[in-house]
């Protein structure tokens, strides 16, 4: 036990803090410019907001417009007013903001971040409440980057319809005598860009009554519309085979 006490005393001599003594946190200083304004930069997604806060009547100016005119959605106006509501300082400060980048949602988040930091600089006693609410932390969430070989970040290309059509065409050679097989299987693809290709197959198979590409496309569209009624669709197709 004595060895532990001696170790703590030696550590206290190095750090300047002796065991049993009360260490008081360093008080933060108020940061204002010559005009009595507190400045801070807020960020969210790709938006960057420069914020000046000074005592006033609660007027918020964003890029030369009022907050009601700039942020038409009520939820965005609620976001930028949250720091004042948490600290119970509503209507006591005027805010001047210039914000660029991202969309309105990202800009609102950047403005809220900047207002929170500026309030903490103007009145350091408000920092614990703002930090506890999470307004002092920069939200690092962003859109995930697109990957090669993918349609989006994780979305794959929808090639099922194309592969199914290739399968129908490859197996259609053994079913040249049955136009209903190719017609019905190809309808399951349900892709509009296959209308032109399918019309050529209808003409090639020599289905009665189909001599033009426009007529074949009309048949394909009608068949796709009634595809949810299998019985009616089969009877409809049998009339052209």
> Do residues 97 and 114 touch, judged by C-beta distance below 8 A?
yes
Q: What is the mean pLDDT of the chain?
A: 75
At 231 the three-state DSSP class reads: helix
For residues 89 and 162, which has the higher predicted lDDT (pLDDT)? 89
Residue 4 neighbours by CB under 8 Å, 6+ apart:
none
pLDDT > 70: percent of the chain: 55
Mean pLDDT of 72-98: 95
pTM of the shown model: 0.58
- In this prediction, residue 208 has a pLDDT band, given cuts at 50, 70 and 90, of very low
For residues 131 and 176, which has the higher predicted lDDT (pLDDT)? 131
> Do residues 99 and 111 touch, judged by C-beta distance below 8 A?
yes
Parallel, antiparallel or unpaired: strands 38-44 and 47-55? antiparallel
pLDDT tens digits for range 110-145: 999 999 999 999 999 999 999 999 999 999 998 999
At 92 the three-state DSSP class reads: coil
At 143 the three-state DSSP class reads: coil
- In this prediction, residue 158 has a pLDDT band, given cuts at 50, 70 and 90, of confident
Parallel, antiparallel or unpaired: strands 93-100 and 65-66? unpaired
pLDDT tens digits for range 27-43: 788 899 999 999 999 99
| pLDDT computed for residue 157 by the predictor | 85
Give the phi and the psi of residue 51 in degrees, each rounded to 5.
Answer: -125, 130
The strand pairing partners of 66, in sequence order, are 61
CA distance 217 to 70: 50
């Amino acid at each position: 036990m004595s060895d532990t006490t001696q170790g703590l005393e030696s550590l206290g001599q190095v750090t300047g803090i002796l065991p049993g003594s009360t260490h008081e946190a360093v008080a933060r200083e108020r940061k204002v410019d010559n005009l009595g304004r507190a400045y801070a930069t807020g960020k969210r997604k790709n938006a960057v907001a420069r914020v000046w806060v000074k005592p006033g009547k609660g007027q918020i100016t964003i890029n030369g417009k009022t907050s009601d005119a700039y942020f038409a959605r009520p939820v965005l106006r609620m976001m930028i007013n949250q720091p004042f509501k948490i600290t119970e300082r509503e209507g006591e400060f005027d805010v001047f903001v210039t914000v660029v980048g991202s969309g309105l949602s990202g800009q609102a988040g950047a403005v809220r971040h900047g207002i929170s930091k500026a309030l903490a600089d103007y009145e350091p006693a408000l920092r614990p409440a703002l930090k506890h609410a999470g307004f002092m932390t920069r939200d690092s969430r962003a859109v995930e980057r697109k990957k090669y070989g993918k349609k989006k970040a994780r979305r794959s290309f929808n090639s099922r319809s194309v592969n199914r059509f290739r399968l129908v065409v490859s197996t259609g050679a053994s079913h040249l005598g049955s136009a209903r097989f190719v017609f019905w299987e190809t309808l399951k693809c349900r892709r509009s860009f296959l209308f032109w290709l399918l019309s050529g197959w209808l003409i090639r198979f020599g289905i009665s009554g189909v001599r033009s590409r426009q007529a074949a496309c009309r048949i394909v569209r009608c068949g796709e519309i009634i595809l949810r009624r299998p019985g009616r669709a089969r009877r409809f197709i049998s009339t052209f085979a």
